[in-house]
Amino acid sequence: MSARFVYWMNVSLDLKIEYTDNENGGGNWMRIGETLHREFNRRAAALTASVEGRKFYEIMEEYWPAVRTDESEPQFMREYGEIWTTTPKYLVSRSRTIAQHNTTVLGDNAIEQLARIREESSGDIGVGGASIATQLLHAGLIDELLLFIHPVVLGEGRPLFDLQNGPVVLDLLEQGAFPEGVTMHRYSVRH
């Protein structure tokens, strides 16, 4: 049995992942409290690996390795730092050739390499970053969407996906709500 690629993102009600370019994954429109973050930790710990685009990876790389050992941070934040740092990662980038934190860099032919990794692996592999998720979706390799929807309409900003070739049909697998006012929707992608 092959692995499944799960595109996991925080989004606004109008499916934007960033309002401005310099949010670095943490726009003030997001409502991420302890309860929601513990859910992130639980799901992230269950992943067998993750695939990240360069921008997404560099945002994570800049923050989480230091947080994992920072005693001034809450335990649930340190826990996520440990999970992110130790989980095997595939960085899709033509501009970087090396990376730390249990990361393999995939340059040219990344989609073909990821298709092979998916076929030869098992479990859920998280996907982070709109560009790489769009490429994987076009290649028929995204299996699930895991969306944490924050109660805000941004009106503009970076969309969840880049341009589509046509409709993407989904089936609802799971949903939930968190005290922060955020809802979670997990969908399978029909292929």
Q: At 106, which CATH number? A: 3.40.430.10
**Helix, strand, or coil (residue 115):** helix
pLDDT exceeds cutoff 80 at 65:
yes
Whether 68 and 187 have beta carbons less than 8 Å apart is answered as no
Starting at the edge strand found earlier in the chain, the sheet holding 142-150 runs 103-106, 89-92, 49-53, 124-128, 4-12, 142-150, 183-189, 170-177
What value does the mean pLDDT take over residues 116-137? 96
- Domain count along the chain: 1
Stretch (H or E) spanning 111: helix 110-120
The residue ranking higher by pLDDT, 86 or 26, is 86
What value does the mean pLDDT take over residues 39-68? 96
Going by pLDDT thresholds of 50, 70 and 90, the confidence category of residue 21 is: confident
Average pLDDT, the chain: 95
pLDDT score, position 179: 96
pLDDT score, position 105: 97
Whether 91 and 52 have beta carbons less than 8 Å apart is answered as yes
Residue whose entry in the numeric block shows the structure tokens 């697998």:
173
Domain with 70, as residue range(s), is 4-189
SS3 content of the chain, % helix, strand, coil (to 5): 30, 30, 40
What value does the mean pLDDT take over residues 71-97? 97
pLDDT exceeds cutoff 90 at 87:
yes
Residue 161 phi, psi dihedral angles, 5° rounding: -130, 155
Residue whose entry in the numeric block shows the structure tokens 């095997």:
88
Question: How many angstroms separate the CA atoms of 39 and 97, rounded?
Answer: 32
Q: Is the dihedral of CA 148, 153, 158, 164 positive or negative?
A: positive
pLDDT score, position 163: 84
pLDDT score, position 191: 85
Residue 19 phi, psi dihedral angles, 5° rounding: -90, -40
pLDDT exceeds cutoff 70 at 24:
no
Residues 6+ away with beta carbon under 8 Å from 37: 76, 77, 80
What value does the mean pLDDT take over residues 115-136? 96
With left for phi above 0 and alpha for psi between -120 and 50, is residue 100 left, alpha or beta? beta
pLDDT exceeds cutoff 90 at 149:
yes
pLDDT exceeds cutoff 90 at 78:
yes
Residues 6+ away with beta carbon under 8 Å from 151: 13, 31, 181, 182
Please state the pTM of the whole predicted model.
Answer: 0.94
Stretch (H or E) spanning 14: none
Whether 34 and 3 have beta carbons less than 8 Å apart is answered as no
